[in-house]
Amino acid sequence: MPASRIVYVLNGPNLNLLGQRQPQIYGHETLADVEASCRRVGVELSLEIAFHQSNAEHEIIGWIHEARTRAGGIVINPAAYSHTSVAILDALSACEFPVMEVHISNIHRREAFRHHSYVSAVAAGVIAGFGTEGYGYALRRLAMLIDAA
Ligand code: CA2
């Protein structure tokens, strides 16, 4: 598998609780379901998926640094760090490949503090409000960008 076809799918804090609380906002799928569907789409698109979740900012930054030298793109749902983390923005800025930002909910129809994401400034695209299906759409778009490069 060439490095360009390895894609990191990174998930920020509290996304380990998916499917367990607030289904009216985040749906009924668990993070394990999201991982399984990313892997299915990955097989279809000939992408190798490195799927991770952490509640710790430094761990997410570590995976971004790892991806920088061994991957062809990142799909990231930074969760609450979207709205707070210049450190994650800086780590993503050091990546030369496309970054797709995903939000399960439509952050723009929620509280004002969710309307701004630091990550969007370096994202090739942003998907919000498509539920967990957004991960698959992001992977498809990333594969198109990788194939076109
Ligand atoms: O809509 C999204 O995907 C978010 O990135 C999710 C974050 C939120 O802080 C962002 O504003 C939008 C929250 C993730 C927490 O997920 C939970 C899932 C189930 C139960 C509790 C939290």
From 107, 126, 133, mutation site for ligand 1 pocket: most ligand atoms within 8 A of C-beta: 107
- The range of the structural domain enclosing residue 19 comes to 6-148
Answer yes or no: is the C-beta of 22 below 6 A from any ligand 1 atom: yes
From 34, 75, 105, mutation site for ligand 1 pocket: most ligand atoms within 8 A of C-beta: 105
Residue with the smallest CA separation from ligand 1 atom 9 is 80
Rounded CA-CA distance 10/72 in Å is 14
The reported pLDDT for the residue numbered 56 is 98
Query: Residue range 8-16: average pLDDT?
Result: 98
Rounded CA-CA distance 130/45 in Å is 20
In a domain, 1, yes or no: no
Upper half-sphere CA count for residue 38 (Cβ side, 13 Å): 28
Whether the CA torsion 60, 94, 87, 146 is positive or negative: it is negative
- Into how many domains does the chain fold? 1
Rounded CA-CA distance 80/42 in Å is 26
Render pLDDT for 22-47 as a digit per residue (tens, 0 to 9): 999 999 999 999 999 999 999 999 99
Q: Is the pLDDT of residue 89 over 90?
A: yes
In a domain, 66, yes or no: yes
In a domain, 120, yes or no: yes
The reported pLDDT for the residue numbered 4 is 87
The reported pLDDT for the residue numbered 3 is 80
Proportion of the chain above pLDDT 70, given as a percent: 100
In a domain, 59, yes or no: yes
Q: Is the pLDDT of residue 1 over 90?
A: no
The reported pLDDT for the residue numbered 2 is 85
- 103 part of the active site: yes
Catalytic residue among 81, 103, 118, 135: 103
Q: What is the CATH classification number for the domain harbouring 74?
A: 3.40.50.9100
- Token duo for residue 39: 């892997």
Proportion of the chain above pLDDT 90, given as a percent: 97
Catalytic residue among 26, 81, 118, 135: 26
